[in-house]
Structure 1
Amino acid sequence: MSILDRYLTREIAKPLFIFCGGLLLLFANFTAIRYLNQVADGVMPAQSVLPLVLVRATVALEILLPIALHLSIVVTLGRLYTDSEITALFGSGVSPTRIIRIVFAGSLVVAGIVACLSIYARPWANQTRYRLEHQAVTDIDLNDMKPGHFYENSSGTVLFFQHRDQSSGRMQKVFIQSRSGDLVRLIRAEEGYYPGPVETSAGQTLVCSGAQIYEISRDQGRVRHAASDGLVLEWEKSHAPSEEFKRKAAPTWQLARSDSPKDIAEFQWRLSTPVAAFLMGLLGFPLGRAKARQGKYAKLFVSVLCYVIFYNLNMMARTWVAQGAVSAVPGIWWVHLLLGVLVAGLLWRGITHP
């Protein structure tokens, strides 16, 4: 590697780490706030926050790395243009193709990292995330719940109570809603309590005294009423993984063999993220061209706008494939094809009109 290659690579790498670190820190901060709110509501233990933030950040890296690479190339080349370094390089015989080759190599390396994250780390991180979230739910029992909050378990049952007696720990003015098909069950009880310890991941027994039970059939419009002074309910904590969980946490090779439109969309998304990282890196070269009076950050708004448009189109194409509106071919690849044509045209213009 020549001195010029090392210099440009180093200049691109410095803002890459800054942008990626800053974006990752912002994402981790917002994610932590979301989980800390759940801790404050009493639906998640505090020790689950850090592991969940780390696995969520792992998944986010496949999105943050491409935009960080794109912005770092634009900022670096913008500075070189405004400082007349590019002009000096062209004057000394360095061709635009040489600089494009350096950007090409750097984009290829980042695309390889994104491919590993998307194909291998993404399903592992999602598997770990859902396991940690489920474990966090099972670690919260009824005695940890706070009055004035709505709690929903995995079966869709909603629990609310207004007060808790400080001496006995019993819940007072309890409201419970559950659904089974077209039947809605409403329970209003004077008191509710959790009689004893249970095994982790098992159901918890909730005893309601002074309970009024209403069963409403939405199809037939009938209402049934009953009363009980010692109603016993099961607050189910364990649950089976959802289809979305299975798809996001599934190994890539398993998705490749599936004929389901949603699985195809997830599989193509995983394969497309490194392609997107590579193309966004190359797009940074033509967008990094700046005049002396523009400044090195002159094209940042255009760069961010380009990425937002591409990302939204990619998400839209993914949704169409998942819904079956678009077949596996062209799938989501038409968005990358359009970007590839745009990048190729801009690079050709940059070579012929440096």
Structure 2
Amino acid sequence: MASTLNRYLAREVLLSWLAVTLVLLFILLSNQFARVLGDAAAGKLPRDAVMAIIGLTSVSYLTVLVPVSLFLAVMLALGRLYRDSEMSAIAACGVGPLRIYRPIGVVAFILALLLGWLSLYASPWAVAQAEIITESARQKAGLGALEPGRFRTSGAAGIVFYAESVDDQGMLRNVFLQRRLGERVEVAVAQSGEIVNGNNGGERTIVLRDGHRYEGTPGTVAFRIIHFGEHGIPIIATAAGASGSGDREGRPTASLLKSSALADRAEFQWRLSAPVSAMLLSLLAVPLARTNPRQGRYGKLAIGIGAYIVYANLLGAAQVWIEQGQVPPLVGMWPVHAVVAFLAATLLWRQHHLRAPA
């Protein structure tokens, strides 16, 4: 009986988890797909990189989706059993609330192991790969993949560019370039030019030769006209030296562990919180799913969603507090996890002493 019940409950939870995960992932990827397609249509991304970006993004999304989808799956699966009075029949066979945790705990533990691998290893790798693809596309969008006879723009550098022709060596002929310098505008017209990569790959420059440069403020007559033999204009600078949150999210976990920076410690705590929250949310979902048949399958789903939102926001706040030094890294997010664990234990204790389910 016990093994049959365990398999039955585990199957119900797994099927619900798979359905919820696919639905949530589809919703998130639909929005991402539209944005990536827009970037590809605007020339900011190569078309052949669209599916790669979507695939890499889905890995990152799973680290966020798995805990909440498991939480909702347990509530939906048990909610259906309460609605159909199957939990009453299970209780009549002498199965108490603690026994319900056994198959759910096994499912949650397996998914938490998978989530730990995703959060600590796969997701940072996916973020780093997506950044490499995006940065490469950004460099190409910075006039590197220009088409002769067509105007191109580089949003990062604020440049409008045109070349009548390009030879096999990459030499541009009859070049027009306009860029904004604050309130001023610079227009350059040259007989020839070429795009030169920096030595460290961090900056690309267009070098114009034998031309004129017009510089001034629109609406005024105070324009300067300068003839030049050679004039270099930077068109893109990469973010190789940046240390923003996007770069941190793509750093290997081992690198974060070696760092003493508070922001790196906070990022590690955030990654570690994914499998921990999956386990705790699955435990919390069991007592929260308790309903009577008249409430239906979704009777307490709103309460569960509200509890998850509070939990997720507290984890986000704890990450910020660690970055700002308001919470020691050793303490980290563990107090938030402890509150959820205490809440789950309290609800379970109350349910256990009520004996028969409603």
TM-score by length of 2: 0.83
In structure 2, the partner of 1:227 is 225
Q: Which amino acid aligns with 1:227?
A: I
Matches within 5 A, 1:85-234: 85-142=86-143, 143=146, 151-152=155-156, 157-160=157-160, 174-177=178-181, 186-189=184-187, 191=189, 195-196=193-194, 203-205=204-206, 207=208, 210-213=212-215, 226-230=224-228, 231-234=231-234
Of all paired residues, the percent bearing the same amino acid is 29
Q: Which stretch of structure 1 is more off in the superposition, 201-210 or 252-261?
A: 201-210
Deviations 1:228-273 (A, max 9, x none): 3454313235441421354222221221222111011011111111
2: CA distance between counterparts of 1:136 and 1:17?
Answer: 34
Q: Any idea what SS the aligned residue of 1:212 has?
A: strand
User: Is the counterpart of residue 266 in structure 1 residue 242 in structure 2?
Assistant: no
Distance in 1, matches of 2:103 and 2:73, equals 14
The answer as to whether partners of 2:57 and 2:126 remain within 8 angstroms in 1 is: yes
Conserved 8 A contact 1:16-1:68: yes
Helix, strand or coil for the counterpart of 1:139?
Answer: helix
Match of 2:255, as an amino acid? Answer: Q
Asked if structure 2 preserves the Cα contact closer than 8 Å seen for 1:41 and 1:149, the reply is no
Indicate the RMSD between aligned Cα atoms, in angstroms: 3.1
Matched with 1:23 is 24
Cα distance change on mapping 1:158 and 1:165 into 2, 3 Å: closer
Residue by residue, what CA displacement relative to the aligned partner does 1:283-307 show, whole Å, maximum 9, x if unpaired?
Answer: 1101111111111122222222211
* SS in structure 2 at match of 1:140: helix
Asked if the contact 2:175–2:192 (Cα under 8 Å) also holds between the matched residues in 1, the reply is no
CA contact (8 A) 1:252 1:267 kept: yes
Task: Give the partner amino acid of 1:235.
Answer: I
For residue 327 of structure 2, what is the aligned residue in structure 1?
A: 326
CA contact (8 A) 1:120 1:252 kept: yes
1:167 to 1:290, Cα distance in 2 relative to 1, 3 A: same
Is the CA contact 2:142–2:236 (under 8 Å) kept in the aligned structure 1? no
Supply the distance in 2 between the matched residues of 1:193 and 1:274 (Cα, whole angstroms).
61
Distance 1:246 1:239, change over 3 A: closer
Q: Secondary structure at the match of 2:332?
A: coil
- Whether 2:285 is the aligned partner of 1:284: answer yes
* Residue 41 of structure 1, CA deviation: 2.2
Count of aligned pairs between the two proteins: 334
1:329-348 equivalences under 5 Å are 329-348=330-349
Query: What 5-or-longer segments of structure 1 have no aligned partner?
Result: 178-183, 216-223
Structure 2 CA distance for partners of 1:333 and 1:225, relative to 1, 3 Å: farther
SS class of match (2:17): helix
CA distance in structure 2 between the aligned counterparts of 1:310 and 1:116, rounded to whole angstroms: 22
Residue 170 of structure 2 corresponds to: none
| TM-score, normalised relative to structure 1 | 0.84
Point out the more displaced range, 48-57 or 72-81.
Answer: 48-57
**Displacement, 1:27?**
1.4
For structure 2, the residue ranges without an aligned partner over 5 or more in a row are: 167-172
Question: Cα offset for 1:192?
Answer: 7.6
Deviation at 1:315, TM superposition (A): 0.7
The Cα offsets for residues 78-103 of structure 1, whole Å up to 9 and x where unpaired, read as 10001000000101111211112222
